Structure 1
Amino acid sequence: MVQVDLITGFLGAGKTTFLRKYAAYLVAQGHNVCILENDFGAVNVDAMLVQDLLGERCEIETISGGCDCDTHQRRMRTKLISMAMRGFDRVLVEPSGIFDVDEFFDVLRDEPLDRWYRLGNVIAIVDALLPGTLSAQADYILASEAANAGAVVFSRSQLADAAQREAAQEHLNRALAACKCSRTFRPGELLTKPWDQWGSEDFAAIDRCGCRQASCEKLHFDEHRAFGSAYFLELGLSCQQLEQNIPALFTDPACGHVLRAKGFVQDENGWVELNATADGLTANAIPKGQEVLIVIGEGLEKERIEERLKG
């Protein structure tokens, strides 16, 4: 049977960065890996960020765009069926940051997938600089992503002090308690070692972390309605303009509650990946991109966002 690992995490937590490192480790161990990327926007930005992993032992499949739950499950099921025929021994699923993981478990239990796949590791990425408050829907997503995790890994732990890491863990536990989850995380249980310091033994431990069974009280809402995305193609703005104007999206209530902005822009030196949350913005050179910016959040006002982006 093909082992499936699920890598979860709320918007902007750093799932794709972790996935790149984990997939590279598995390929180095001789595994044949397929990555299934599920992005919320109409353009699958995250899939572009793992293109350099493509090779004889690593392929990528994508599911793009928000849609209703039933349609999304059919798309995921169809992808997994086609992938089962192609000789992979490991599949890594990176869902969007507003994905209800129950949907994933439901699909994996379906016939014939239950005869071809087995659940391996569930890895939850939690931002060590997690905001102090989120909406009830966002807290539910956060809790559901961590409830069944065999390992919960802090991202950006190198930027957070002990008090901030403790606050993030307390927030996670509050979110779990709010949905009457049977699980809680004790001090020291979350992995805080910065990823850049990880060696093969750290990834080997993650590769055997497995998953946990924990019950949650379901919050019935359609995440594709509660959360929205606005995407902008060929804005005609420079990298400098976007870096200067994107932070205002997170502070202007007229834009809605913006949770993340990500995309690509081309400057005189080539393509740049932009990734922003309320805590800051990063800009990194990449080999290939597409001129697009996707903004994800709650109650978004696209016209106001575009005004802000154009200054």
Structure 2
Amino acid sequence: MKSVEVYILSGFLGAGKTTLLQQILKEEQERGRKVAVIMNEMGPVSIDSDAVSEGVPLKELLNGCVCCTLSNQLEVKLNELINQYELDVVYIETTGAAHPVEVLDACLSPLFAEKIRVQSIITILDANRWMDRHTLKIPLRKLIKEQVKHADTILMNKIDQISEEKQREIESELRSINRRGKLVPTKFANISLGVIQHACRKEQEEHEKAHAIEHLHMKAYVHTFSQPVDKQLFEDFLATMPDTIYRIKGYVRFTGEKETFLFQYAYGMPMYIKIKIKVKSTLVFIGDGLDHSRLQATLTNLQQESISDPHLL
């Protein structure tokens, strides 16, 4: 019986995992391989699942992390995919706060041990985030280091945003943590599929626990706007984001604009992409010890101001 390949996509929030997944899926489909995806989100709603094209079997794990609170569900979803479809490969996109080895352990279930073959752990790293990691809390620094340490392939992403000198410095630091993994500099997570498929699995090393929920106090907050909001007020709000909010993603509509925008925010940088489909204006906030009540009150007030101020209509 042919075993199904499994790849674990790891990396901290905003590093580029979903962009990488989109490129991988495109190349896999061009090769005619039968692909499925398991996507994990910290929050109770899915945003990144839109990146998976129709026809690709998708299982979602929401409101938790596959490396701890949802590990049993990961086993169930993986088993379902293997039994429901004739697959060549499954890609597991973890949350940015997941420990890859704990995810690997969850994949090694007696339910399907003979049916799958974990090919590789791929960690994608934001070069800028790596350089300023000292600003993060100690548990998060430890998590990012663990994600690097246990990767078979490390994609040092966003190198177009740093100097060649800084790139060499980061490469040296990464090599000191992981001497055996393949290190690949990338822009926009753009790589050939062969880069990750030909990487060799490392022997599993001892690892430190760095769970998102139990150790890092990572939480998610979901907010839905019932009406469009003013873009300037929204950006003024973004300017107040504390360093403990690592990621915001979702959809947003602005007053005076017909289109809906896919919205991404990481490390103080917002990004808006116009989309043609109409979806709810829903945002997912991921961070350390989020104050749900304060966020809800601030965003509700932002919407009320957008509606009540005649200059914003």
Give the TM-score normalised by structure 2.
0.82
Q: How does 1:21-100 map onto structure 2 within 5 Å?
A: 21-48=23-50, 50-51=51-52, 53-55=53-55, 58-66=56-64, 71-85=69-83, 86-100=85-99
Shift of 1:195: 4.2
Structure 1: runs of 5+ lacking an equivalent = 177-182, 252-256
Given residue 41 of structure 1, which amino acid in structure 2 is its aligned partner?
Answer: G
1:254 maps to none
Given residue 295 of structure 1, which amino acid in structure 2 is its aligned partner?
Answer: F
Task: Go from structure 1 to structure 2 and tell me whether the alpha carbon gap of 1:308 and 1:31 turns closer, same or farther (over 3 Å shift).
Answer: same
Given residue 208 of structure 2, which amino acid in structure 1 is its aligned partner?
Answer: K
Shift of 1:193: 3.4
1:246 maps to 238
The secondary structure found in structure 2 opposite 1:236 is coil
**Is 1:276 aligned with 2:265?**
yes
1:141 maps to 143
Structure 1 window deviating more from structure 2 (266-275 vs 276-285): it is 266-275
Structure 2: runs of 5+ lacking an equivalent = 303-313
The Cα offsets for residues 157-193 of structure 1, whole Å up to 9 and x where unpaired, read as 222223443565566578x5xxxxxx3489xx63223
Structure 1 window deviating more from structure 2 (59-68 vs 105-114): it is 59-68
2:250 maps to 263
The Cα offsets for residues 253-294 of structure 1, whole Å up to 9 and x where unpaired, read as xxxx11111111134332211111224111112344432111
- What CA distance in whole angstroms lies between the structure 2 residues aligned with 1:301 and 1:171? 35
Q: How does 1:120-269 map onto structure 2 within 5 Å?
A: 120-130=119-129, 131-133=132-134, 134-166=136-168, 168-169=170-171, 176=177, 183-184=178-179, 190-195=183-188, 198=191, 202-219=192-209, 222-225=211-214, 226-234=217-225, 236-238=227-229, 240=231, 241-250=233-242, 257-267=244-254, 268-269=257-258
Percent pairwise identity = 19
Number of equivalent positions: 289
Shift of 1:59: 2.2
Give the TM-score normalised by structure 1.
0.82
Structure 1 window deviating more from structure 2 (148-157 vs 92-101): it is 148-157
Given residue 185 of structure 2, which amino acid in structure 1 is its aligned partner?
Answer: T
Taking only aligned residues, the RMSD between alpha carbons, in angstroms, comes to 2.7
